[in-house]
Structure 1
C-alpha cells in the first residue's frame, strides 16, 4: 500500500478531516506534528471543502457516501454571492498553503502543493473578472454563464443521467432534492447573465440562436417521464417502485419549467441586442478576459501572436504528412482539405443514416478500443482497468456540443468512465474520424489517464489542468499510431493526422477570433481548409471557441510539451530510456501545469540514471 493509498483511505473515512475542511475557510488549519502530515492534512481538508462547494463532483467521484452522503442531494451555488464566497475561500487557502513548510516533504506532496496553489490562484484571478465562469481546476471557463454548451439547463440533466445513483429510496430522495435545487441554480444564472447584459456583455447572436432553439426544445420535455430531468430517475430507479417519477415530474413541471422559461426570456432579451461579432476583442473587458482565458487554458504565458504562429507552422508539417496518404487513395487533385473531404464522402467510409447508423458508429468505436487493449503493455509499465462505456450524449446537449468527450468514472469503479458521443447528426462520424476520437476520449486518453489520477490524493482527482489532460489525450492518439493501430488502416491514419491539424488549427482560429478580429465566416473557412473536416464539424468547433475562449489552445500546446519532454528523456538517457517508464512517469505525476510536468520528468530521468 502506497502513501497515496493511505491518504485516500483516510480522506474517505475520517470525520476529523471533514471537520478540518469545514473549519478551513475561517482560518488556517492547525499545524500537526510533522511537515508531511501537515501538508497531507491540509490538502485533504481543502479537497473536502472543494467538494462542499461543488457537490456534483463528489457524486462524479463516488465519494458522496457515509459522513458525506448529504452531498448527493445538493447542487453548487452559482449566484454572484456564491462566487464571492468561493473567491474568499481561495484567498485564505492560498495564504494557508504558502505557510506550509516544504522542508522534508517528498516529491509527490511537493507537487500536490504546487498544483493546488496554481489551480487556486488561476481560479481566483478569473473570479475577479467582472463576468463569466472561472472553474477551480477545470476547463469550462467562459465569459457567458449560460450559452449553448454552458449552464445548469445542460449540466443538471447530464449529471443526473451520467453520475447520479438511484439504487435506494435515499438515492431517490437525493435525486428529488437536486431537482428542487435546480430552479434556484437556473435563476441565479439568469440573474448573472442579466447583470452581464447591463455591463454590455452578451454572447454572439449565432450562439444565442443555438441556445434559444435548444432550450425551447428542452422545456416541453422537462416534465416528461422520458425527458432530461425525470427520465434518469425513471430508468435507473425502475426497480424501486413507488411514485418517484411522478414526484419528479411534478417538481419539473411546477418549478423547473418556470425557471427555464424565465431564463429563456432573458436569452431572448439578449438576442435582441446581440451582434454577429464572435470574439472577445470587441466586448467590454474582453482583452483582459481573453488574456486570463489563455493562461487558464494553456498554463503558459504565451502571447496570442506566438500561439497563432505556432499553429500555422504545425499545419504546414501535418499537411506534408497527409499528402502521400491521400495519393494512396487515388486523390491527387485539389487541396489537402478538398481531398480529405472527398474521401469522407465515399460510401465505404461512412455509416447509414438514422438509428442504424448510430448503432454502427458506437459498435465501430467499441471495436477500436477492443483492438487496442492487448497492445497497451508495450506503452505502460502498470495497467489500470480502463473501465469504459460509450454512450450517446443527452439530446438537449447535442446541438451545441463537440463530436464527443470523455472522462473517468467513480473512484470505486462502480460507475464506469464514459465516452459521450454526439449522434445528433451521424454524418459527422465516419471511418476516417472515429479512431483518433475514441483513442483521445477513451483509451489511452481521458478515461485511461483519469483512472491513474484517481489513485492520487483526493484533491488531485478534483483538480485538472487543460493542457495536461488534453495534451495527454492528443499524445494518446500518437501512442495509438506508434502501437500499430493504423498499420492496416490508412483512412484511420489520415483521420489521426486530420485530428492533429484540427488541434493545430485551434491555435490559429482561437487567437484569430479573440485577438485578431476575425469573423465567424473566416474562422469556419480556415477550419475547413486546415482540417478537411465537414462544415458541420467546423460550426460546432468554432462556436465552442467562441463560448470557451482560450480553452481550445491547451490541446496542441500540451501535446507538444509532452512530446518535447519525451525527446529530452531519450537524449539524456540513451539506452536507459524506456517508453513504458516515461509514460508511467507522466501519468503517475498526475494532472499538472506544464512547468510542473518538466520537473516530474526531471525526477524520472534522475531515477532512470540510478
Structure 2
C-alpha cells in the first residue's frame, strides 16, 4: 500500500512539473490509443460472435436473424464439448491480441464478459450430466421445441416459412437425441422426478392431439403455421398456390412428429418406475452436493455457499 502511495505521489509531482501542453498531449495520446484498441476489440468480438451464432442457430433466430433458421442447435455431448473448447480458444486469441490495460473502461467490460462467459460455459459443461433434456419442468425438450417455433420463430417472408418447415422436419432427430442423452444420465443414477415424467407424457400427448393427427381443434403447431402462412398471404408476400403447397409440406412434417413423440412417451412411461418422488432436490442425486455447489457458483458468479447467500438475504430483509 505504501509503495503504491509513493508511486502515485511521484507521478503527481512529475505531472506538476510538466507544461500543461505536455500533460494534455499525453492524455490525448492515451485517449486515441484506447479508442483505436476499442475499435479493434469490437471488430474482434463481432467476428467471434458471428462464428458463435453459426454454431447456435436458435440464438441467431432469437436475435432476429435468418441465418441458420432452418436448423436446431446441436445438443450432442460432442457439440457441447466443442463449443467449450472454441470459447476457451477464443479467449486465448483475445488475450494474445489485446492488452487489457490499453482499453477504455467500457471496452474492458466487454473484454471481461467474453472471458467470463467462457469460464461459465466450462463450469456448465461440468454439470451437463445433471441437465438431461427432459429433466427440467420449464425447459424440457418435448415442449421447448414446439414453444420455440410458436413464440420465437417469426415468419416475415417465404424464407422464414421454409425455415419453419425445415425445423419441423428436424424435430424427430432432436427428440431422439434428447432421449439418448436423458438415458445416459439415468445410467449415472440421475433421474427426472415423477411429476416431471408425468408432465412429459401429458405434454407430448397434447402436442400430437387434434388436427392434423385426428379429430378435434388444430394442434398447436398446425394452428401456428397456418396462421403465419395466412399472414403472408394477406400481406401479399406469397401467392395462394405457393402457400397451399408449403402448408401441405408443413402438414406432412407435423404428422411425422407423431411417431417421434410416441418414442418420447414410450421412454417416459418406461422411466416411471425409477422416477423419484418426494424429496427430489439436488442433494438426493449422486454427487448432488458437489453439483449444487457448482450450480451455485455458475448462477451467482461467486464462491458463496448456500448458507452465505441465505445469511445475506436475511441481512437485506432486515435492512429494508
User: 1:74 aligns to what SS in structure 2?
Assistant: coil
Aligned to 1:294: 296
Aligned to 1:285: 287
Aligned to 2:61: 59
Mind listing any 5+ residue stretches in structure 2 that lack a counterpart?
Answer: 1-35
Q: Distance in 1 between matches of 2:114 and 2:302?
A: 16
Q: Distance in 2 between matches of 1:93 and 1:117?
A: 9
Q: Distance in 1 between matches of 2:159 and 2:300?
A: 41
Aligned to 2:133: 145
Q: Distance in 2 between matches of 1:258 and 1:222?
A: 15
Aligned to 2:8: none
Counterpart contact for 1:280–1:286, Cα < 8 Å? yes
Is residue 2:166 matched to residue 1:159? no
Q: CA deviation at 1:192?
A: 0.3
Q: CA deviation at 1:171?
A: 2.0
User: RMSD over aligned Cα, in angstroms?
Assistant: 2.3
Aligned to 1:110: 108
Mind listing any 5+ residue stretches in structure 1 that lack a counterpart?
Answer: 1-33, 133-142, 319-610
Which of 195, 200, 210 is 1:211 aligned to? 200
Counterpart contact for 2:204–2:264, Cα < 8 Å? no
User: 2:299 aligns to what SS in structure 1?
Assistant: helix
Q: Distance in 1 between matches of 2:272 and 2:316?
A: 37
Q: CA deviation at 1:250?
A: 0.9
Higher helix share: 2
Is residue 2:73 matched to residue 1:76? yes
User: 1:257 aligns to what SS in structure 2?
Assistant: helix
Aligned to 1:191: 180
Q: 1:303 to 1:91 in 2, by over 3 A?
A: same
Q: Distance in 1 between matches of 2:211 and 2:263?
A: 14
Aligned pairs for 1:505-520 (under 5 A) are none
Q: Distance in 1 between matches of 2:173 and 2:72?
A: 10
Q: CA deviation at 1:153?
A: 2.3
Q: CA deviation at 1:196?
A: 0.5
Counterpart contact for 1:222–1:253, Cα < 8 Å? no
Is residue 2:226 matched to residue 1:234? yes
Using the size of structure 2 for normalisation, the TM-score is 0.76
Q: Distance in 1 between matches of 2:190 and 2:102?
A: 49
1:524-547 CA distance string (max 9 Å, x none): xxxxxxxxxxxxxxxxxxxxxxxx
Q: Distance in 2 between matches of 1:279 and 1:165?
A: 37
Q: CA deviation at 1:233?
A: 1.6
Q: CA deviation at 1:172?
A: 1.7
User: 1:220 aligns to what SS in structure 2?
Assistant: coil
User: 1:237 aligns to what SS in structure 2?
Assistant: helix
**Which ranges of 4 or more aligned residues in structure 1 deviate by more than 4 Å?**
221-225, 312-318
Q: CA deviation at 1:198?
A: 0.7
Counterpart contact for 1:222–1:229, Cα < 8 Å? no
Whose radius of gyration is greater, 1 or 2? 2
Counterpart contact for 1:35–1:102, Cα < 8 Å? no
Q: CA deviation at 1:316?
A: 6.3
Aligned pairs for 1:375-454 (under 5 A) are none
User: 1:230 aligns to what SS in structure 2?
Assistant: helix
Q: 1:103 to 1:222 in 2, by over 3 A?
A: farther
